Structure formats: structure tokens, C-alpha cells
Structure 1
Amino acid sequence: MHAGHADPPRAGEGVKAAAAGAPSPACGGGSGWGQGVDVLELHGDLPVEQQSRVLQPGDGNRRRVVLATNVAESSVTLPGVRVVIDSGLAREPRFDPNSGFSRLDVVAVSQASADQRAGRAGRVAEGFAYRLWPQSQRLEPQRRPEIAQVELAGLALELAAWGQSDLRFVDAPPPGALAAARDLLQRLGAIDTGPHPNPPPHAGEGAVTLTVTGRRMLKLGTHPRLAAMLLAARDDAERALACDLAALVEARDPLRARNDGWRARWLALVAFRAGRNDPDAHRGGLAAIDAAARQWRLRSDAKAPPPGGVPAHALGDLLAHAFPDRIGHVHPRDPQRYALANGRMARIADDSTLRGEPWIVASELRFEAKDSLVLRGAAVDEARLRADFAPRFVERDEVRWDAGKRALVAERVRRFDGIVLDARPAGRVDGALAARALTDAVAELGLDALPWSDGLRQWRARAQSLRAWMPELALPDLSDAVLLASREAWLLPLFEGGTRIDALSSEAFAEGLRAQLDWPLRQQVDALAPARIVVPSGLERRIEYALAHDGAPEAPVLAVKLQELFGLAETPRIADGRIPLTLHLLSPAGRPLQVTQDLRGFWDRTYPDVRKEMKGRYPKHPWPDDPWNAIATHRAKPRGT
């Protein structure tokens, strides 16, 4: 809120920050909001004439109170403003996963916005800023970039039109949000990610191309979901109905009573146009929706007047084109649950107007831990669905992994997109489908489901450790995440001809994993991160390698009896001398005596004490005074010595 006053400023220089909750000087004198006060609004939806009125100097004898939104944070100067009352709130666009659109949401302002608002009070002279939040409340320093918190389907459509997918942004769009936007555009039929015969110039490697439908959607200049619905209309009368739906979807709910059906909202709009009063509806909201629908009819060139009545499924038949990912089919054993085309589940409320409908489209969902709740939806006619979405109805043989049976199941499946409509046993398992199903099962079960041997785990740890220690070797990444992501390339061939995970032999699995490194790199691993090392006793001892939870290599360990290292002065090292081994020096019984990476220091400082204590406990084993020149051995002393 900005309060303008013609009197001189109260005191001070520039802007004075007043305590939260203090009375505003602009409201003093007990005059209230009666005579002598002009109350003006300033927000982006006002006509230009009304916005201009706020920018004009007022009568010097009248107080002016300007009720403003975030638009007042701009560089515009409001004449006569000496006092700012800042609520500390702002309406900013946020992605609403329930509706699939970006909506204006009320959030706390950033510190930068609060400073900008306070500056309005001191733009022409000293003034006051009253902040209506406690001083203890900490604000974010800056607003988050809008691109990081809104739905990006419109941006993805524009990028496809430009033919460039790797533009340099000041703030890059989040990869996950951009991928989700492109997935939606594919469902809407707006883009194609397959090979293009004539790719646009300068198209990046991951570029997508617009379809004919996508170009028509772009011309409508609205959200791709709504554009797809408007373009799906079969005739002019249906296009007029689509305009009503577009206006309803974008607007605030005009009904006071909670109701999950779009038909009730549309009928309230029809009644408003006919001059009938609906006690459960907001007339002002319906008037705004009617005006918006009129604009939609002009933009989409709909010649027919708005309809006064339509078949029961007509609304859902159109909304399905805006929300193809949220088309739902009733669960065969639970009439309140619906399987959605995107593979998720949703439920309707006990008193839902959609109860009993075999097909619905859920335009608004509240995402919950188990099943999403349908907040807004409409019934869909199956015949229209089969006509408009024919390619998504498929029947094929599928092989899947049954976790309960720990076996493959072959079925003849009828689907609509991600919804299984029917599944029957298919008999013999197709080999290619079986291999793919087993490969996907590993993604679900994890790599531990594969036949790892201790030696193979050590080999991977050696390769991963050497990759970190000597990056110049350019060893491939063998982490769990990378192996799972690339499983089709290396694991799928290993399952060919198999029908069970445990049928994969440990030898075949080991060879398939090691094949990720070519022969020269495998030799480098064996030479620079050896599995075993020869100690002074003449025997080979194993080196233990391990990786931390974050994948970083831990120090390699050589566990060896102390007597086997007599005569060795320096700690053994691997990886071309870069990495010292951690020595676990053991007693003759194999119990640890010392852990060190400084063998020379152990001989000099610690060994005399160890010798004194152990000589009596293990008299049959050598404990020489001079370990530097003693003969290393893994045996006890000969009898009689």
C-alpha cells in the first residue's frame, strides 16, 4: 500500500523504517476513509486509463491512498507518496502440480523487494516505510528466478520453434522441469524427438522439432494444454464450448460449494448467461469467466455462440486433449480408484459426481503419498477416446518381472497409454522380451541382485579407485548409477536366452562388467592397482580396496604378519607411487598389532615396545633386535633355536 499526502515529510532524511504495527502518518488526524481521501488501485489487470490516473498528480487538498501490487516495485514514480505500508507479501508465479499450470501464489517478499518498496516512500522527498512483519523474520536476499519455479511447457514449445535446444540462459531452466515439459508436449502431439529429415540450422544434439499441430498451438499464444484443447474441437459449436472450458480452467473457482465436476461449473456459467441466479455461484466470478470466454472465441475464430446445453461427456472429451496424461480408467475392483495414463493412481471422493464413470479426465489433482485425489474432473466417452486417441490403444505381448514370484510373467496386454485394460497369460516367453524384462528388473532390484563374486567387487573397487587417483587414464565410470543407466548396453546382451536372473553365471557377468574397459585399460588396472603384492617373505598378500558411500576410494589395506616385512624400510605404494598402502601389521596369531602408513617410523619408534610385549607371548617366532637386517619369514623359528 502506498499512501500519498501533500504535506511536508514528518522528519528525517530519505526513508525512515517504522516499527511493525505502528500507526501510519497518512492515516492520522482521525479522518478515516471519509471525505477528503481518494482510494486508488494499481495492478496489472486494470485498464490503461485507470493505471494512468494513479500516475497523475492529485489535488493538493486531498489525501491519496494507492492500493498496489508488485507492479509498484517498478521504476515508476507515484507523485506525492511519502508513506509506504508494506504487507511483506507478493503474488508470484509458481508451478502448481495439482493443475499442471503456473499460478500466482502469495509468498513472502525478498529483502531486495522490501528495499525497493521502501524506496517508493523516499523517491521525491523524505518519507516513512512501515513493514508489517516482525524484525526477527529473515527474508531471502533475492527473488528466485521465475524460470526456476514455473511450468516450462510454453518455453519448450518456443525452443522447438527456434530449432535450438542449447541456448545460453542467464538462469538456466531446471533440467527436470524442461524434460517434463517436453514429455508433455510429446503427449499433446506438439513436438517430435525422432530423427528429422531436414533439421533446422544450428539445432543442438538434443533438439526437438515442431509438428504441424505444434505450429498451430504456437500461433494461439496460450498454454500448450489449452491450445491442444482448442485445436481438438471438431466443429464451430464444439470450439465455442472449448472456449468456455479454457476460461473456466484459467479462472478461480466460481462455485462456493465444493464439487469435483467441471459440468457443474459450466452449467453455472450457462445459467448466468441466461440471467438465472445460482445461489452457489459467485456472479462476479462468472461475469469475468464469460468475458474471458468471449475473448477466447475471438482469438480462436469461433463463429458459433456459446452453447446452452451439451451431452454429458462433451466437456471431458475436450479436456482429455488438454490433459492426456491424466485420462483415467476405473479400477476393476474399486470404483473410487482410477489408473491414469501417466502410470499413477488417483481416487475420487466418496460424494464425487464422477462416481460410476468408467473413463474420466482429472484436470486437477492433489498429490498424496499413495493415490492422488481428484479435485476437478469430467467424464469421458470411450468411443470418442478411441477415435481421438486411437494410436494409444494397443494390444501386444509383454514380459514383466514379478517380484513376488521372482520370475518372469508373459502376458497378452491391452493398454491405453500407461493404463492396463486387460492382461491374459501369453504362454511361451519371447527371448528378446525376456532379456529386456530381466534388465529392467535389475533396475528395480538393484545391482546386488546380480551374481557378484568377492573378486569382482574388488576388481570394480580397484578400477573406481584408480579412476579417482589417476584421472589422466580416463577410465570409465563403473558406479551403480552409471551401470544402471547404461544397463541396456552391457547387461541386456548377457540375459539373451535366459528367463531368470539367477541363471546368469558369475563368470559371464564378470566378463560383461570387465568388458566396459578395453584390454589396455584392464592391464593398467592390474599393474597400477594390483590385487596382490609380493612382500619380503616372498609370498603374495592381498590388498583390500573399498569405496565410501559417496563412491570416493578409501585407503587400500595390506594386512600382513609383522615378521613378513623384516628388512623393508618404506611403506609399499601403488598407483605409480601416488598412494601408500595402509599396513595392518599382524601378530603370529593374525591379530592386529599396529595400523600405519609409516613403516619406517614404526620400526624406529614402536617396534621395540611391540617386541618387548610379544616376545614372551609368541616365543616360537622371531623378534630380532634389528628388524632392518633380519630375514623376513612367515614361519616360526626352527626347533632348538
Structure 2
Amino acid sequence: MSRPPSPLPVDAVLPELLAALRQRRTAVLQAPPGAGKTTRVPPALLGAVRGRILVLEPRRLAARAAARRMAFERGESVGQTVGYRVRGESQTSGATRIEVVTEGILTRMLLADPGLDGVGAVVFDEVHERSLAGDLGLALAIQARELLRPDLWILAMSATLDGERFAKLLGEGVSGPSPVANTASGGSASPHPSLSRIPHPSSLAPIITAEGRAFPVETVHLGPPQDRRRTPEAVAAAVHRALSEGASGAGTGVLAFLPGAGEIRQTEEILARGLPRDVDLHALYGALPPAEQDAAVAPAPRQRRKVVLATSIAETSLTIDGVVAVVDAGLARRPRFSPATGMQRLETVRVSRAEADQRRGRAGRTAPGVAYRLWSEAETAALQDFAPPEILRADLAPLALDLASWGAAPDELRWLDPPPETQFETARGLLRMLGALDDAGALTDHGRAMARLPVHPRLAHMLIASGSPLAADVAAILGERDILRSSGPKAPDADLGLRLDALRSRDALRSFRGLSVARGALHAARKEAGRLQRLASAPRGHADTRDAGRVLALAYPDRVAQRTAETPREVRYRLREGHTAILPATDPLADHEWLAVASLDDRVGAARIFLAAPLAPEDLEELFADQIIRESVVAWDDDGGRVSARKVERLGALILSEGPLAKPDPEAVQAALWDGVRARGLGALRWSKEATRLRQRLAFLFFHDDAAPEASGKSAWPDVSDDSLLDSLSDWLAPFARGAKSLGDLARADLHTALDALIPWDRRRDLDRLAPERLPVASGANIALDYSTPEAPVLAVKLQETFGMEDTPRVLGGRVPVVMHLLSPARRPVQVTTDLASFWREGYFDVRKDLRGRYPKHPWPEDPLTATATARTKRRR
């Protein structure tokens, strides 16, 4: 017998909503908390829709609660007209018309049947939460409707959403044909030929707005705790205040929001010591057993009050009866993926303004209430309007596998926010490593098998490939929060084996001081292990937990780790993909050389390992035989100044073994030797004076020839600059350094002869004519020229040896005057000139006046042009 439901605000807009859906087959419903949209809209569609109605809820708790409420209002049991399906639990029958499911279930349904045969409407509740699975399910449903099921109704509902964006996304219309999936860029061939067109919205979906039913809520800003680590104490104090002020009557309750299960446990311990006797204390988070979640949501018994400590699971979709006071720590825990490390972790962040408003509204559902906020009123203005969508910050490997199964690339679907390209390519790289995609990006048979399992691709690969009964236990532990907790400030040891022992028997932990089991997480993990064992058809029995590393390495092949260094405080490991990770030196796993790592933070410098298992070298050979690279490594050893030749076996960045290479490839040796010379520069070679002088002369000729090139545009002389010689080592030096493996060997190379060989045969006779090594002066001496400056050589000569020389000597066929450094008898420069005639006329007499007094034994004639040149003194002349 049905029970007439009490009126709710959304009832008033149901006729308008049904009319919009009949006309457009899509709509957006905006309704504040408490309006009744979750439980009133789906039943209202029963008479208008053929087939089943799928109602999408972001959380299992909300899905069960919504189904029970709708069934209650119909006077039925869950599983009749109204049923639900969530992970690991289902209550449906052949008579079920309204099926409340979590978002991941919808994705599995669409992948199995893109046309959603037998489904008449899909209702997306609380779409503002923007979960990854929710965004994907909405994108797939839109494409399925527009290409396969034009009769399918799609409705998006939320209390706080950007209605215009959702209305545009759901708008109908296709503006012409569009390209086929680009398999070269990552899209695999579509298994459904009609999914090769991209729809484009041409109109907005109708937006229906319902009034809310909320009682006034007073907001009290208590200010933040001085240290975030004191959040549990601050929340406990605010709960006591709420119990004495706003929730002082029988049947009332306090709902406190904390970021995670750890903070909830700490707050529980504080409150348990001082709560009034008429107050029941409950926790509410995703890993709790369903019975405990239901108890937290149920009304308080007669003459009693209740306190519920919850995560963001209690923000939307369900009403906790009797709550008249809310305590909000203002924090939430969100997944964040780091493309730099390829890892995802949960981080504690400030809530958005929309989330804070949702939490505050919980206090005004059934009566006037009060909300205590652990931040200042001024801080509210600094909050983000909405929480960032998960698709922009999460691990996209599940999304990439689902899209490959669907047969479409990201740009072939319509999104509120498309997946970031860099993160999506990182995800596809992981899928290739797991064997889910081939080199062309197409789904493999193994990938299809992975896609059928409702777990992360890493765990799906592990379950299929391991062949071990241990795999389901490992997957269950990895899929839930840590089942171990420490009674002190120190985190539990990282050993996965401890968790496996606890999963099988609580007694296994009695020998470990300071550790206890998280009861809710343990219950959930045991249940999940049984479910996964059935889904994956895994072998039954209990495998040795010492094989945990082998199993774990299948899920995390990129996080195989090798110990590289240790200090008294920590041990360092190198991961296969190249990053560094650390363990405290006190952790028992730090004694192992090889680890398979499941969980670590995303610090780029040295990530902290939270969960791992030991590996043996033979495990690597067996698991990754086809990925181990065996190569000859010939490289420059700068410390030794020589070429090093080794034979190496490696797995990514990890060196499995190495040894000397007896007969390295001569070309590889020489190439490595040239790398060493380039790294150190030409100064690493042993240059004789003759070789240096020849190089300078050639540089002089190239400089001037390059300034006035031949008609061909190419210099007739070789370029002997540092850059040119370093670039062409294999051309000019190799013939004179055969068999060389070190700088010591190169020291014996004849660099003069090597440079001489660069001179074109038809220019050899011009070398001495254009760039002579020496020039004669008036005294009869042949003076060496200094070509260290390519613009012009320097002739350093005593002044007395130039008496009688009227003009400056020239080189390069008379084109370039030398730079004359005229020296005193002590060989110190007294004049630098390129115009000797001008010096005799204008500068000589000032120099003569100075030098006569300093060097009286040397001749200083009044007419230097008629005097005899000499290098001697007067007496010896």
C-alpha cells in the first residue's frame, strides 16, 4: 500500500519539466537542497517514459538512500519498481523500472550496449560535483542519444550548477558531417560505425528552476585553528558548542564535516571522552560498511541526540534527519595527478564557496539551524566559486581505456571540460606499457579484457596477468584506504605484506606494536577481494604473501625500484621511470634491494614511499623479460678522461647488470671520444708550438678570405675556429688518432700534420707567400710574425732594427699591413703602429728623446731613414 508523500517544492515544476522533456528529450533542472529533486523527479517520469529510468548518483550511500526513499514513498520494498546497483551490491528485479546506479556502473552499461536498449531516460543527479566518471558518462550518453538513440531522454539535475553550460552541452542538433575518428592520434577504430560523426549543439536545452524549502540558518565564524594539524581538536570543540547551543533538544543532531577518515577517527577519539550521555556518535565515509553508513543517516532514537562526523559524502543527495547544526572545517580531500611524476595522490584543500553553501544548507533541512565555520568571514570571499572538475586534475588512465573501448578519441565527444592533452597522453603511455593498447593506439584483446573489469586499468592488468589468488587481495587493499593505522605519530611501515596478513587474520598483527586495523576499511577490503575474485575468475586459495612483490609489479611496472644509496636516516631508490623515492631507514623494507611500489607522494625530488613489497632479481627476469634491454654502452667517462665500454642489461632507468665490453665497436669508441673532446674543448688536445702557429696562420687567411669570398661564396682556406674543428673532429683528427680511446692517446696525435692536411693542394704554395712565418727587417734579421689576432699579424721588432725602413711591411699579397710593435733595447713596446712612415715623421723624435737618456749606449740618430739598422750597441757596431 503506497504512502502519500508530503509535498515538496519540486512538485510544483514537475508538469513543466515533463513538458520540456516530451518536446526536447533533454532538460536541466536547478533545485536547491531539500527541494526533493532526487526522489520526486524519477517517479514522475514513469508514466511518460518507455523502458527503465537510470538515475545516476555520484556515491554509493546516496544511491542506496535515494532508492529506499523512493520505494518507501511507493509503499514498496527496494528491488520492486525502484532498485539500485552499486559496486559490490545490487537490489533489482525484472519489475524494476527506476534503477539508481553509481556513475561507473553507467559507463560499464554504455560500453556493453551503446544504444542502452530498454532504457528510456537517464537522469544525472548532482552533476555539479563533476566527477571523472560522471563527465565521461554524460559525454557517452549524449553521443549515444544523438547517433543511436534519438528517443533517449537525458536530464541533468543539481542544486548548484552552471545551468547555461549544461544547457549548451545538452542542446540538440547536428550541423553536418564530421571527420572519422583519428586513429593515428590515438583513436581506435570504432566498433560502432555510427559513432563516427561528431555532434555540434545548435540550441540550448530547457532550464527548469524549482524553489527550495530551507529554514533559516545562522552562520557563526569561529576562525581557523592555528595549525591545520589541530583541526580535529577545533572540530570537537565546535561540536560541544553546537550541542550546548543549537542542538540541545531531543532528536536533534550535529553534522561535522572533516576532510578524511583519519581526521574523523581523531575527532571521534577526542569526543568519545566527553560527550553528554544522551548523544550517539557516528562516523560517515565511503569505506565504512553499509550498515554503519545507514545508521549514521537514520534518525536519532527517541530522547537521544546524535553527532555525525562525515567527509564530503554528506554534502548532497541525502538528508540526515534531525540535523540542526553543522560544523564545517572548510577542508576537502581531492585527487591530484602530477604529469611530472605520473602519479596521483590525495591532497587536502579548501572547499569551494558552492561546497561551503551546500554544507551550511544541511543545517536548515528540517528546522532552523546554525552553521559553525572554522574560518573567518573575510576568508569566504577568497574561496573558489566551484571545485575544479576531476577531469582536469585526476589520473586519466581509466578514461583513456574507456574511450579506447568506446572507439573514439577525446575530440569526438562533447565535454564541459575536455581532458588535458598532456595528462591524456601520459595515460595512454601507461596503457601501452600494460599491453592494453598497441603501438598504433588501438585496443588489444588484453585491453578489452581489462576494460570489462570495473577497476583501475593497473589492477585489471594485474588480476588478468598474475594467475595468482593473491591478486584479488592485493587489488582490494589498493582499492581502499589503508587498512592499517598507527597509534602514534609515525605512519605504519610500508610493507604490503602486513596488510595482506591483516586481511586474512587480525591475529597476524599482534606481534606488531603500535598498529591496529581500520575496521571499516578491513571489512570493505575483504568484501571487495571476494567480488574481484569472482569477476576475474581468479584462482582460489591463499598464495604466499611473499609473492606480493611479483603481483604488485604487474600493476605498477613503472614503479619497480632499485636501491641506490643510504644514509642513517633514509634509503634512496630509483624508480624504473627515472624518479627518486625514499624510505625511512627504520622501515623493514629498506633492507631490500628491489621493491615494487604501489603508493608514494608526488614530490619530484624524492617521493616518500607509503606502500610497497619486496622483489627478487629473478622476478624481474620473469615478469619483464620482453622489456629488458641488453645493449653495449660506449660512452665518455669524463672523470677518467677516456672512453668507457660496458655491456648493460637495464629495465628503463634501472641497471640490472653490467660488465666490461671486450671488443667495442671502433666507430662507437671514436664517437664517444669526440664527445669527450667536445665536452672539454680543444684545450684538451696537446697543441705544439708549430701546430698552434699553423692554426693561427690559417685562421688569418680564412678571416680575410671570408671577408672577400670567391665567386663560389666559399672560402678557399679551411675554417679552423673552435666550433668548426670540434664539429669536424672525425674528418681532420680521426686519420691521425686511430685506435685512440683516451686523452692520453690523443696527446700523441700530430696536430700540425693534421691541420696541414686541411690545406687545399692548389693553395699550399700560397701559404708562405700570403701568410709568411717570418719577415725580413732592415737589420737583416728574419722576425717571426704573431698571427694570434686574425685581423692582422704582429711584428715585434727592436726600433733600431727598422732604421732605413720607409714603409710598414705587408702580408696577404700586400693587402694587410702588419701591426708593428717597436721595442726598446729591453724589448718593451714603445710604439704600436701600422703606418711606419707616419711614425718617423711625427712620433720618432719624442720616443728618441726619452730613449737616449735611458739607453745611451744605443744609437739614436736624428735621421732614422738614413741610419744603419742594427741590433747592437755603439761600441759593438
Q: TM-score range by the shorter chain?
A: 0.5 to 0.7
Residue 216 of structure 1 is matched in structure 2 by 449
Return the letter of the residue paired with 1:327.
Answer: V
Which residue pairs with 2:349 in the alignment?
107
- Name the SS for the 1:121 alignment partner: helix
* Displacement of 1:55: 6.4
Unpaired runs of at least 5, structure 2: 1-32, 34-213, 224-237, 253-273, 682-702, 704-723, 732-877
Q: Tell me if structure 2 keeps the 8 A contact 1:152–1:181.
A: yes
Q: What are the superposed Cα offsets for residues 6-63 of structure 1, whole Å, 9 maximum, x if unpaired?
A: xxxxxx9733322427843323489995465565555445566666667676678654
Structure-2 change in CA distance of 1:305 and 1:183 (3 Å): same
Q: Give the aligned length.
A: 420
Tell me the CA shift for residue 110 of structure 1.
0.8
What CA RMSD, in Å, does the superposition of the two structures yield over aligned residues? 4.6
Q: Does 1:299 align with 2:501?
A: no
Structure 1's 18 and 209: CA in aligned 2 closer, same or farther, altered over 3 A? Answer: same
| Residues 329 and 128 of structure 1, relative CA distance in 2, 3 Å threshold | closer
Contact 1:271 1:277 in 2 (8 A): no
d(CA) in 1 for partners of 2:358 and 2:432?
Answer: 42
- Residue 155 (structure 1) aligned to one of 392, 399, 412: 399
Q: 1:381 to 1:74 in 2, by over 3 A?
A: same
1:316-359 superposed Cα distances (whole Å, 9 cap, x missing partner): 11111112112234449999554432133445443343455443
User: Which of 457, 461, 471 is matched with 1:242 structurally?
Assistant: 471
Question: Residues of 2 paired with 1:52 and 1:336: CA distance?
Answer: 45
Q: Report the equivalent of 2:497.
A: 263
Amino acid at match of 1:315: A
Q: Distance in 1 between matches of 2:384 and 2:434?
A: 37
Within the candidate set 337, 358, 364, 2:599 is matched to 364
- Residue 418 of structure 1: aligned partner: 653
Q: How far apart in 2 are the matches of 1:499 and 1:231?
A: 58
Is 2:328 the counterpart of 1:86? yes
Residues 1:146 and 2:390 are matched in the alignment: yes
Which residue does 1:191 correspond to in 2? 437
* Equivalent residue, structure 1, for 2:463: 230
Unaligned runs of 5+ in 1: 3-11, 195-207, 446-453, 455-497, 506-641
> Do 1:399 and 1:429's aligned partners in 2 also have CA atoms closer than 8 Å?
no
Letter paired with 1:145: P
CA distance in 2, matches of 1:76, 1:271: 35
**Structure-2-length-normalised TM-score:** 0.41
The 8 Å contact of residues 643 and 669 in structure 2, kept in 1 or not, is answered as no
User: 3-state SS of the aligned residue for 1:263?
Assistant: helix
Query: Are 1:15 and 2:261 matched, yes or no?
Result: no
Q: CA deviation at 1:253?
A: 5.0
Check the 8 A contact 1:329/1:359 in 2, yes or no.
yes
Deviation at 1:397, TM superposition (A): 3.5
Q: Which amino acid aligns with 1:427?
A: P
Q: What is the distance in 2 between the residues matched to 1:186 and 1:16?
A: 54
| Alpha-carbon distance between aligned partners in 2 of 1:169 and 1:188, rounded to the nearest angstrom | 27
Distance of aligned partners of 1:154 and 1:400 in 2 relative to their CA distance in 1, 3 Å threshold: farther
Deviation, 1:143, is: 0.6
Q: Is the 8 A contact 2:345 2:602 kept in 1?
A: no
Summarize the Cα distance change of 1:253–1:502 in structure 2 as closer, same or farther, 3 Å threshold.
farther
Q: Report the CA distance shift for 1:367/1:58 in structure 2 as closer, same or farther (over 3 A).
A: closer
Match of 1:428 among 662, 665, 679: 665
State the distance in 1 between where 2:390 and 2:728 align: 50
1:341 equivalent to 2:560? Answer no
**CA separation of 1:77 and 1:331: change in aligned 2, threshold 3 A:** closer
- Alignment equivalent of 1:26, drawn from 232, 246, 263: 246
Residue 173 of structure 1 aligns to which amino acid in structure 2? P
Query: Separation in 2 of the partners of 1:57 and 1:333?
Result: 56
Question: TM-score w.r.t. structure 1 length?
Answer: 0.55
| 2:611 maps to 1:376 | yes
Q: Following TM superposition, by how much is the alpha carbon of 1:83 offset from its aligned partner in structure 2, in angstroms? A: 3.1
> 1:580 matched to which residue of 2?
none
1:369-408 Cα shifts (integer Å, max 9, x gaps): 6554544332223223212211122222345576779998
| 1:397 is the counterpart of 2:632 | yes
Change (3 A) 1:347 1:500: farther
Distance 1:347 1:51 in 2: 37
Q: 2 CA distance for matches of 1:175 and 1:329?
A: 31
Q: Can you list the C-alpha shifts for 1:268-299, whole angstroms capped at 9, x where unaligned?
A: 44442679675443134484344443333233
Amino acid at match of 2:550: D
Q: 2:484 aligns with which of 240, 254, 257?
A: 254
Deviation of the 1:360 alpha carbon: 2.6
Deviation at 1:97, TM superposition (A): 9.1
Q: Distance in 1 between matches of 2:374 and 2:311?
A: 15
Mapped partners of 1:233, 1:347: distance in 2? 27
**Distance (Å, rounded) in 2 between the aligned partners of 1:371 and 1:38:** 44
SS at match of 2:612: strand
Shift in Å, 1:302: 3.2
CA 1:274–1:417 in 2, change beyond 3 Å: closer, same or farther? closer
Matched letter for residue 515 of structure 2 = A
Displacement of 1:109: 0.9
Contact 1:19/1:130, CA 8 A, preserved across alignment: yes
Q: In the alignment, which of 553, 574, 577 is matched to residue 320 of structure 1?
A: 553
Range that drifts further, 98-107 or 215-224: 98-107
The residue type equivalent to 1:157 in the other structure is L
Match of 1:526 in 2: none
Which whole-Å deviations, capped at 9, do the CAs of 1:138-194 have from their partners, x for residues lacking one?
322221111122212111211222222233431222333222222222222221233
Q: Which has the larger radius of gyration?
A: 2
Which secondary structure does the structure 1 equivalent of 2:246 belong to? helix
Residue number among 412, 415, 423 corresponding to 1:177 in the alignment = 423
Aligned match of 1:483: none
Tell me the CA shift for residue 113 of structure 1: 0.9
Would the alpha carbon gap of residues 373 and 91 (structure 1) be closer, same or farther in structure 2, given more than 3 Å must change? closer
- In structure 2, how many angstroms separate the alpha carbons of the residues matched to 1:70 and 1:117? 8
State how far apart, in whole Å, the 2-side matches of 1:232 and 1:176 are: 28
Instruction: For residue 252 of structure 1, give the secondary structure of its aligned residue in structure 2.
Output: coil
Where does residue 575 of structure 1 map in the other structure?
none
Secondary structure of the 2:630 match is strand
Distance 1:94 1:77 in 2: 29
**Residues 217 and 228 in structure 1, CA contact (< 8 A), matched pair in contact too:** yes
Q: Identity across aligned pairs (percent)?
A: 33
Cα distance in 2 for residues equivalent to 1:217 and 1:244: 17
Conserved 8 A contact 1:407-1:500: no
- Alpha-carbon contact 1:99-1:364 (below 8 Å) kept: no
Distance 2:353 2:281 in 1: 28
Distance 1:157 1:501, change over 3 A: farther
SS in 1 for 2:410: coil
Asked if structure 2 preserves the Cα contact closer than 8 Å seen for 1:161 and 1:209, the reply is no
1:74 offset after TM fit, Å? 1.7
CA–CA distance in structure 2, aligned partners of residues 50 and 276 of structure 1: 26
Q: Contact 1:244/1:306 (CA < 8 Å) preserved in 2?
A: no
Asked if residue 70 in structure 1 is aligned to residue 312 in structure 2, the reply is yes
CA distance in 1, matches of 2:305, 2:590: 57
